[in-house]
Amino acid sequence: MTIERLQVLWIDDDRRARHRIGRLSRAAGVYSFAYVEDVTSAAQKGFTPLPEFPDLARVYTAPKLFVTFADRVPSKKRPDRERIVTALGLAADAGDFDILARSGGILATDSVELAEDRDPDDDLCRPLTFRVAGARRYPQTRPLTVGEALTVTHEAANEYDHDACVLVRETGEKAGYIPKAYSDLVARACEAGRQLRVELIAAVSLEAQPDPQWVATMAVLRG
């Protein structure tokens, strides 16, 4: 299913925490961007409005993808575009939103990141693709591999996030965490006893990051 809505995150310099600052969407060929109501919490951490979107209260619309985000997608004129897109685990003709959701649209020049947007009550029956958080903190006895299955455990005693959900290998080793943007959805599913299927689908190398970042897909198994 094609992604039509992305959340825009800002990473602060203090704790490297991700703050949700806005939503990018498209409908009937029109792109729109608006800041979320609690963008002020990010402002308290040092966030300033994106140059293309100076008004925090305005809903911006355009017939084409805004430059702020279009610059994060490999140009169709690049000879290596197909290689970059397929390395993300996507078809060569994947759309801009799918590429942004998979890569995060991360640049070395700013602290903005994108991810698929889901409703607070999403049931996770539709597969969710995400970048594994914190994987570099957990050295592995053997390398992670594409196609590897992981289990999910709600780490309710986590001192930083009571919704934290850890990804665990068959060996019992931690492989990383569910991104905070989805941790509340996943924690509720775990606590409700729903069985989650997680599979690593790609190792993405980004110019803005020294190490490859793992991409996984997750969905609730239908009983």
Q: Where are the domains of the chain?
A: 5-116, 128-220
Taking domain 128-220, whether its CATH number is 3.40.50.170 is answered by no
CA torsion sign for 35, 36, 37, 41 is: negative
The letter for the amino acid at 199 is E
pTM given for the model: 0.86
Beta 18-27 vs 30-35: how paired, if at all?
antiparallel
23-82 confidence digits (pLDDT tens) = 999 999 899 999 999 999 899 999 999 999 999 999 999 999 999 999 999 999 999 999
Q: Is 17 left (phi over 0), alpha (psi -120 to 50) or beta?
A: beta
Is residue 52 within 8 A of residue 85, CB to CB? The reply is no
Is residue 36 within 8 A of residue 51, CB to CB? The reply is no
DSSP string, 67-124: HHHHTTS--TT-TTHHHHHHHTT--TT--HHHHHHHHTT--TTS-EEEEE---TT--S
79-137 confidence digits (pLDDT tens) = 999 998 998 889 999 999 999 999 999 888 889 999 999 998 898 988 999 999 988 88
